[in-house]
Chains A and B, each alone.
Chain A
């Protein structure tokens, strides 16, 4: 079975400082991994995805993530936080042949950005 752990339920950074949101996964298959962002009372928006190509993945709004198989990690980073980055972030693992229930969400990390 697949699973996702987001190591921090809440991360707080100052505007202009780096962001690191941590994600570890477990999967018996070669996984696909995704990061989604959710602003309050909104749907989820895809930030970036890893699907077995380059291990360093660049996404929208300056975010990137690195797939590290040896560490089973897919941490999300951004060099400089902006106030508009304040939101909930979800890490997702997919890959096992269990159609319909293939997408496993992490519990989410709430990012606060202080002025």
Chain B
């Protein structure tokens, strides 16, 4: 079955460490997205990519970095510059760059906790 796989499901980070969250899709979707979800704040866009080797900052990109070397993969690195990284991270994809016609498909999320 086609879908989006996020790993790991739970991740613990020490202060000052960089960590990378994995997102892989086998839907042949062009666009991919990273969202951060905090209790009571809904979803906030971190980064998005419409095609390979191109990505754009979303609303809260500071302290995060991404790459899009392959169509299937869009990893997110949470750097030490992100002062409050504890959150639930969701990866999504859409067949086109807008999601207007078919919507987004979401992964099952990664919960990151700073220890």
Contact = CB atoms under 8 A, between A and B. Distances in A.
Interface of A: 32, 34, 36, 41-46, 49, 51, 90, 92, 94-95, 97, 99-103, 105-108
B108 A103 contact: no
Given A41-B88, A44-B90, A46-B103, A99 B97 contact: yes
Nearest to B6: A43
Contacts of A107: 40-42
A92 B102 CA distance: 12
28 contacts: A32-B100, A32-B101, A36-B106, A42-B108, A42-B109, A43-B6, A43-B90, A43-B107, A44-B92, A44-B104, A45-B106, A46-B103, A46-B105, A49-B103, A51-B101, A94-B103, A95-B100, A100-B33, A100-B49, A100-B56, A101-B48, A101-B59, A102-B98, A102-B100, A103-B33, A103-B99, A106-B42, A107-B42
A103 B41 CA distance: 16
Contacts, number: 68
B99 A41 contact: no
A interface majority secondary structure: loop
Given A41-B111, A94-B98, A108-B42, A103 B90 contact: no
A49 B92 CA distance: 17
Contacts of A100: 31, 33, 48-50, 56, 58, 97
A90 to B, nearest CB: 7
A105 B43 contact: yes
A74 B63 CA distance: 36
Contacts of B19: none
Contacts of B50: 99-100
A103 B90 CA distance: 14
Contacts of B99: 94, 102-103
Nearest to B41: A107
B56 A90 contact: no
A94 B56 CA distance: 18
A42 B37 CA distance: 11
A43 B97 contact: no
